[in-house]
Amino acid sequence: MRKYQQKGNNSLLILNHRTSKKVFIHEVVLLKGDINYTTVFMDNGKKKVLAHSIKYYEEFLETHGFLRVHRTFMVNPNHVKTYNQEERKLTMTNGQQAVISRRKEYIAKKFIA
């Protein structure tokens, strides 16, 4: 896997405006969307459930190098451990797996492989 250069390594992702929960973007491994909720998986093993769809975070995170590989998954390419081309699955550094959609398979080949 090649290292993908992210912009602004010290940028923060605001998880909750009311409680001021923030995380560094380079700590985020994977976002998994489920209707109007998004689960954010971090590199330290923690996860946070947010009350926004994945589309809400997509534009901001794409400017920092994240890839939308499926309608329910958005991944940080620096945390990709393995890529199974036959099953179209990414295994992340924290053990989570993300499925790559058939139409976005070119993204995985271009940036990850």
Is residue 68 assigned to a domain?
yes
Q: Is the pLDDT of residue 2 over 50?
A: no
Residues 6+ apart with CB under 8 A from 5: 65
What per-residue confidence (pLDDT) applies to 70? Answer: 94
pLDDT tens string 57-74? 999 899 888 999 999 999
DSSP 74: E
* Selected residue with higher pLDDT from 4 and 34: 34
Tell me the C-alpha distance between 68 and 71, whole Å: 7
What per-residue confidence (pLDDT) applies to 113? Answer: 59
* Cα 73 off chain centre by: 7
Is residue 1 assigned to a domain?
no
Q: What is the CATH number of the domain that holds 24?
A: 2.40.50.1020
Is residue 77 assigned to a domain?
yes
DSSP 86: T
Task: List the domain range (segments joined by +) for residue 68.
Answer: 12-112
Task: Quote the number of domains for the chain.
Answer: 1
